[in-house]
């Protein structure tokens, strides 16, 4: 196909208009500032952490107790350096945003040192994270008769993938690392269809079955042994605002789910004061905005079905 040179001559003028728009809508570009965390680098960090959490399942094959220490040590050393850089960028950006500081201005805080401290604290949490995830994998195996092995859970289950990324993102969230937890969470969301805010506090033996469309809000508290099916929303009611019309942040907006609760498909539970008592069962498509006592089954009455002859 021949190229129309006259049409291509419009491109420099188009470029000028696009660049001019950067001046008109300055809030949606990051020009002339210090580098932000790099999305691809953060995604790769997440993949490397999974390589440590589940050795032998991903990139490196033929691992055994004779060589796994070298493999993990190399990953940890490399992760330390890359995590420090990305956390440093996130901390500096948050500080600059809050204080109106430009990239070339001096700051009293050593962000590289702070980034290293938080990177080390995150890496130190990996043994505990492995223990938590082992309970999640076992809960999936115990809770799904279609599952044949823990290997199948680790390889194939989107719910387990989402929980794995959440355990990482939540630890970074606890360490007050800006941006990076949300980047990890949204990457997981795009891959699994499961949207878990990094702030959600989730206990051991958590199982999301099927998973597509699950939404878990920032201030959710989920105790041990909870099982959730596809389409479940653990969300907020309307957000309170201050006298200036700004959303009031930092309040508990999402429900508390106690031990061994089962929440079936497409149920919706809303509100920071809503508590679902232990050992309760919330049926499919139930909508709740008030608390439920322990050992309670909540269902919607079945509609009457009508059958008639076709034709």
pLDDT digits (tens, 9 = 90+) for 47-101: 999 999 999 998 888 999 999 999 999 999 999 999 999 999 999 999 999 988 8
Q: Largest Cα–Cα distance in the chain? A: 81
Average pLDDT over residues 232-242: 87
What is the Cα–Cα distance from 115 to 121, expressed in whole angstroms? 10
d(CA 7, CA 292): 66
Which pLDDT value is given to residue 207? 98
Token pair for 285: 């498509």
Show the tokens assigned to 83. 């995590």
Q: In whole angstroms, give the CA distance from residue 11 to residue 45.
A: 38
Residue 276, token pair as written in the block? 């679902």
pLDDT reported for residue 306: 87
- Structure token pair of residue 264: 């079936």
Judge whether residue 41 has pLDDT over 60. yes
**pTM confidence score:** 0.92
pLDDT of 2 > 70? The answer is: no
**Burial class, 251, CB count within 10 angstroms (exposed 0-12 / middle 13-18 / buried 19+):** exposed
- pLDDT, one tens digit per residue, over 150-202 is 999 999 999 999 999 999 999 999 999 999 999 999 999 999 999 999 999 99
pLDDT confidence of residue 1: 53
Cβ partners under 8 Å of residue 125, min gap 6: 171
| 153-192: b (≥16 Cβ within 10 Å) or e | bbeebbbbbbbbbbbbbbbbbebebbbbbbbbbebbbeeb
């Amino acid at each position: 196909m021949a190229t129309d040179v006259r049409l291509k001559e419009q491109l420099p003028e188009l470029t000028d208009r696009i660049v001019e728009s950067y001046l008109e809508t300055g809030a949606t570009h990051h020009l002339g500032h210090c580098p932000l965390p790099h999305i691809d680098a953060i995604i790769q960090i997440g993949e490397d952490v999974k390589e440590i959490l589940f050795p032998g399942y991903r990139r490196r094959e033929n691992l055994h107790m004779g060589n796994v220490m070298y493999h993990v040590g190399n990953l940890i050393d490399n992760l330390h350096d890359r995590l420090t850089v990305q956390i440093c960028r996130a901390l500096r950006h948050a500080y600059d945003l809050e204080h109106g500081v430009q990239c070339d201005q001096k700051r009293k805080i050593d962000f590289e040192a702070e980034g290293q401290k938080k990177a080390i604290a995150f890496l130190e949490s990996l043994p505990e994270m492995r223990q938590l995830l082992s309970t999640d994998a076992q809960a999936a195996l115990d809770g799904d008769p279609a599952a044949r092995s823990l290997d199948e859970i680790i390889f194939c289950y989107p719910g387990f993938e989402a929980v794995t990324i959440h355990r990482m993102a939540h630890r970074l969230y606890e360490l007050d690392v800006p941006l990076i937890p949300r980047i990890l969470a949204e990457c997981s969301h795009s891959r699994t269809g499961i949207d878990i805010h990094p702030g959600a506090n989730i206990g051991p033996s958590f199982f999301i079955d099927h998973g597509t469309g699950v939404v878990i809000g920032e201030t959710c508290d989920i105790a041990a042994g909870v099982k959730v099916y596809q389409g479940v929303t653990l969300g907020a009611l309307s957000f309170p605002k201050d006298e200036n019309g700004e959303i009031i942040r930092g309040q508990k907006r999402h429900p508390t789910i106690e031990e061994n609760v089962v929440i079936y498909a497409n149920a919706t539970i809303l509100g920071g004061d809503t508590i679902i008592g232990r050992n309760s069962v919330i049926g499919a498509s139930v909508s709740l905005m008030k608390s439920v006592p322990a050992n309670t089954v909540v269902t919607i009455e079945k509609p009457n079905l009508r059958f008639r002859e076709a034709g």
